[in-house]
Structure 1
Amino acid sequence: MEKVKPKKHLGQHFLTDLGIAERIAKAVQGQDGVSKVLEIGPGMGVLTDFLIQEKWDLYLVDIDSESIVYLHGKYPDLGNKIIEADYLKKDFTPIMGGPYAVAGNFPYNISSQIFFKILEERNAVKEVVCMLQKEVAERIASPKGNKSYGILSVLLQAFYDIEYLFTVPPGVFNPPPKVNSGVIRLTRNTVRELPCDEKVFFRVVKQAFSTRRKTLRNCMKGMGLKDELREDPMLDLRAEQLDVSEFVLLTKKIQESWNQ
Structure 2
Amino acid sequence: MTKRSYRRRLGQHFLKSRYFAKKIVDFADVSDEVVLEIGAGKGVLTQFIASAARKVFAVEMDGKLAEILGEKAFPNVSVINKNFLDLSLSEYGQLVVVGNIPYSITSEILKKLIKERRLIKRAVLTIQKEYGQRIFARPGSREYGATTLFITYCFNGEKGFTIPPRFFSPPPKVSSVVISLKKRKPLIRLNDEEDFFEFVKGIFRYRRKSIKNCIVHYFKNPPRGLNSRLLQRRPAELTLEDFYQLYRKFKEF
Is residue 100–residue 126 contact of structure 1 (8 Å, CA) maintained in 2?
yes
Is residue 32–residue 53 contact of structure 2 (8 Å, CA) maintained in 1?
no
Alpha-carbon shift at residue 202 of structure 1 (Å): 0.8
Change (3 A) 1:226 1:241: closer
SS in 2 for 1:46: coil
1:165-188 deviation line (CA, Å, top 9, x unaligned):
111111111111111111111000
What letter matches 2:17 in structure 1? Answer: D
Change (3 A) 1:142 1:56: farther
Alpha-carbon shift at residue 231 of structure 1 (Å): 7.1
Equivalent in the alignment of 2:247: 251
Equivalent in the alignment of 2:159: 164
Give the 5 Å matches for 1:130-209.
130-191=125-186, 194-195=189-190, 197-209=192-204
Q: Does the alignment pair 1:42 with 2:60?
A: no
1:171-223 deviation line (CA, Å, top 9, x unaligned):
11111111111111100012287245423321221112112111122222233
CA distance in 1, matches of 2:51, 2:244: 42
Equivalent in the alignment of 1:86: 83
Q: Structure 2: give runs of 5+ residues left out of the alignment.
A: none
Q: TM-score, normalised by structure 1?
A: 0.87
Equivalent in the alignment of 2:64: 66
Change (3 A) 1:117 1:195: closer
Count the aligned residue pairs: 249
Is residue 216–residue 222 contact of structure 2 (8 Å, CA) maintained in 1?
no
Is residue 196–residue 251 contact of structure 1 (8 Å, CA) maintained in 2?
no
Identity of aligned residues (%): 33
What letter matches 2:159 in structure 1? Answer: Y
Equivalent in the alignment of 2:24: 24
Q: TM-score, normalised by structure 2?
A: 0.89
SS in 1 for 2:12: coil
CA distance in 2, matches of 1:184, 1:242: 24
Is residue 15–residue 169 contact of structure 2 (8 Å, CA) maintained in 1?
yes
Q: Structure 1: give runs of 5+ residues left out of the alignment.
A: none
SS in 2 for 1:228: coil
SS in 1 for 2:142: coil
Is residue 135–residue 147 contact of structure 2 (8 Å, CA) maintained in 1?
yes
Is residue 38–residue 102 contact of structure 1 (8 Å, CA) maintained in 2?
yes
Change (3 A) 1:6 1:206: closer
What letter matches 2:130 in structure 1? Answer: E
Alpha-carbon shift at residue 9 of structure 1 (Å): 3.0
Runs of 4 or more above 4 Å deviation: 4-7
Is residue 42–residue 48 contact of structure 1 (8 Å, CA) maintained in 2?
yes
Equivalent in the alignment of 2:104: 109
Is residue 38–residue 99 contact of structure 2 (8 Å, CA) maintained in 1?
yes
Alpha-carbon shift at residue 34 of structure 1 (Å): 8.3
Is residue 188–residue 241 contact of structure 2 (8 Å, CA) maintained in 1?
no
Segment of structure 1 superposing worse, 7-16 or 223-232 = 223-232
C-alpha RMSD of matched pairs (Å): 2.4
